[in-house]
Structure 1
Amino acid sequence: MEDRKHRGRTGRSSGGRAAKQAKRSTPLTKGVPYITRKVPVYEILDEEGLSLIENNAETILQEIGVEFRGDAEALQMWKTAGADIDGERVRIPKGLCKKLI
């Protein structure tokens, strides 16, 4: 009779019940480690540049405005807030956007 310990296995050898449970409980993938930022923070605009952009944006909103097509509720809200309404075009006076934000 052949000894069971020394017999070569030809079939599956997935382990017992505990091994199968351990295999199911381990995550399939490991989490990605956090990325450390090595690039320094740059100040793209100084205060003067930001002020220039805000001023130009307010000029565009006041002189050209924004159209709200088919949105009577939005038009009414802008009118209540103090904007000038001309049909579906809303012209927003300088300072109103900052005040609303």
Structure 2
Amino acid sequence: MLAGHDPAGEPAIFEFLADVPRVKVDQHATDALGRPGIGLSQASDGGRLELVFDRSTYRFLGSRFLDLTPRPVGGDPTDEPESGAGEVKTTVLQVKAVDHLPTRS
């Protein structure tokens, strides 16, 4: 926990962000592993970035990026998405404090 950090104030932060223009709050978001969370997202430059936080601890779980760029009609005869199009998810597997940088292998 950060010095001066108020965990009781964290839900108020989500309520505040829900009123910010173009920000959406998803109470039923999940991270890349399917863990339930609260998602905060905003559309920008042809995509939507969502940050997912644990519902009870408000710890950052990961992110999700959706490519919303319109695709040309009839471009790919297989109807498969082009590379780079679609969805990218990340997840945080472990959080720990260390007193040194990891060694390179």
> Shorter-chain TM-score: what band?
under 0.3
Between Structure 1 and Structure 2, the one with more helix by share is 1
Higher alpha-carbon Rg: 1
TM-score (normalised: structure 2): 0.23
Between Structure 1 and Structure 2, the one with more strand by share is 2
